[in-house]
């Protein structure tokens, strides 16, 4: 992970990461440390499955805590997207028309991307071509099924 890269998050996304960090540091890690200590006190560690399991879980939790600390230090909150020129930017909710259908996407940072819930990263192929565009403009994206041409119907 590039430690100098900005991580763009919505206020909600930042709150979720802080909540996860707090849960890991203040609840899960102490619980697993207790398990490690109890398992260690059982004797022979080479044949102690509980000890091995607890150590593996502790390693995973510590890795995630380290990752979250880096993310939180690099986090930049996406400002409210309402602007006078209605250009697409991070945080914008965009209605697109393609082949007579409308699709609504929200442009978010890569850590919050969730295509199933129509949250796309500004670094995705569609996200990249949408940035800076305005209502009425057309954008073209290469998809597995071929080229798709979207028309921007609205930007909020």
Q: What stretches of 3-156 adopt beta strand conformation (E)?
A: 7-9, 75-77, 93-98, 101-108, 119-121, 138-143, 146-155
What tens digit of pLDDT does each residue of 83-95 get?
546 789 999 999 9
- Domains of the chain in start order, with CATH, are 7-77 (1.10.287.180), 93-155 (3.10.50.30)
Predicted model pTM: 0.72
DSSP track, 40-79:
HTTS-GGG-HHHHHHHHHHHHHHHHHHHHHHHHHHEEEPP
- At 24 the three-state DSSP class reads helix
Q: What is the mean pLDDT of residues 142-152?
A: 88
CA 93 centroid distance within chain: 17
Q: What is the mean pLDDT of residues 114-138?
A: 93
How many whole angstroms separate alpha carbon 82 and alpha carbon 152?
A: 16
């Amino acid at each position: 992970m590039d430690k100098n890269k900005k991580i763009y998050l919505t206020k909600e996304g930042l709150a979720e990461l802080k909540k996860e960090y707090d849960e890991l540091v203040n609840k899960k890690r102490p619980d697993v440390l207790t398990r490690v200590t109890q398992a260690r006190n059982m004797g022979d560690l080479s044949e102690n499955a509980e000890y091995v399991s607890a150590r593996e879980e502790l390693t995973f939790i510590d890795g995630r805590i380290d990752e979250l600390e880096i993310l939180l230090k690099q986090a930049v909150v996406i400002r409210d997207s309402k602007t006078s020129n209605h250009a697409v930017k991070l945080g914008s909710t965009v209605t697109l028309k393609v082949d007579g259908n409308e699709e609504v996407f929200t442009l978010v940072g890569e850590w919050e991307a969730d295509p199933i819930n129509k949250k796309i990263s500004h670094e995705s192929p569609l996200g990249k071509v949408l940035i800076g565009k305005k209502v009425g403009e057309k954008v073209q994206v290469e998809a597995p099924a071929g080229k798709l041409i979207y028309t921007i119907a609205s930007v909020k």
